[in-house]
Each structure stands twice: as structure tokens, then as C-alpha cells.
Amino acid sequence: MEDESKIIENMTAILREKARELYPEKIFDYGTNPENYGSIDSPDGYAEKSDECGKDIKMFLRVMHGKVEDSRFIAEGCIFTIAACNAAAEMSKGKTIRECLKINRSSISEHLGGLPYDHDHCALLAALLFQKALRSYMEKNKKE
């Protein structure tokens, strides 16, 4: 049993090293250790969406004085989906609502240092989800 555990540990280390060679460091870091992973109780903005694989992804926003104070997400999926959602959340923190409107597929991809062509849709998914959460906040807080 101990030998199997050591073999799996070594294989995981090799895979991590290969991933670091293939993809920008930020994708690897955001995808394997997402600081913005989690939920917010009673969020000011909220959205959920199913990705192409049928997994649910959720985005939560906390807004104070017209700025995003906190942004979190919950997602099951590939490293690219998690990295893109984490990037959207990170990019929004401290930004005004108007500034957050600029968070889109290309800005997320650029923030990550570029996504592989076959995973560019992950940035689009994260952008759509984030913008939906932002709209949720704006609809709740319409000024008459």
C-alpha cells in the first residue's frame, strides 16, 4: 500500500512538472490553487451556469459602495475552467461596476497569459458567468 502511494505521489509530481512546461504559470497556479474558490453567504450578485461538460459553475459577488469587495466561485471542471473563473473573480476585486463590464473572454485569457485554443471556451464561460452575476447585482440595485 505504501509503495502504491509513493508511486501515485511521484506520478502526480511528474504531471505537475509537465503542466508547468506546457502552460503559463498563472494557469497552473490559478487552476490548482484558486484563492477565490468558495461561496459568499447572501451575495449581492449571483449566477450559475452549466458548462459544456454539464457541470454547474456558480459565481458570487459582494459589492460595497459601487465596487466589488469580494468575488468567489464554485466550479467542478478542468484546470482551465477553474483558472478562468478564478481570474474573473480576481480581476473584479476592488473594481467599480463600470470597470467590471470590461471583464470578458479576451481580458481573462490575457490575464492568464493565454489559453490553449481548445480551451479558449473556458474563458468565455467564466466571462459569461461573471457578467451574469454582475447583471444580477445591477437588477437588484436599479435606481428608480
Range of the domain at 58: 2-140
DSSP H helical segments within 57-113, as ranges? 79-92, 97-100, 105-112
CATH assignment at residue 34: 3.90.1010.10
pLDDT at 1 over 60: no
Nearest CA to 101 among 133, 58, 75? 133
Tell me what pLDDT residue 14 has: 78
Q: What tens digit of pLDDT does each residue of 28-41 get?
A: 889 989 999 999 99
| 86 band by pLDDT with thresholds 50, 70 and 90 | very high
Tell me what pLDDT residue 13 has: 74
pLDDT at 15 over 80: no
Q: What tens digit of pLDDT does each residue of 39-76 get?
A: 999 999 999 988 666 578 999 999 999 999 999 999 98
The tally of domains found in the chain comes to: 1
Q: Is 84 exposed, middle or buried (0-12, 13-18, 19+ CB in 10 A)?
A: buried
Task: Give SS3 for 95.
Answer: coil
pTM confidence score: 0.85
Q: What tens digit of pLDDT does each residue of 98-143 get?
A: 999 999 999 999 999 999 888 999 999 999 999 999 999 999 988 5
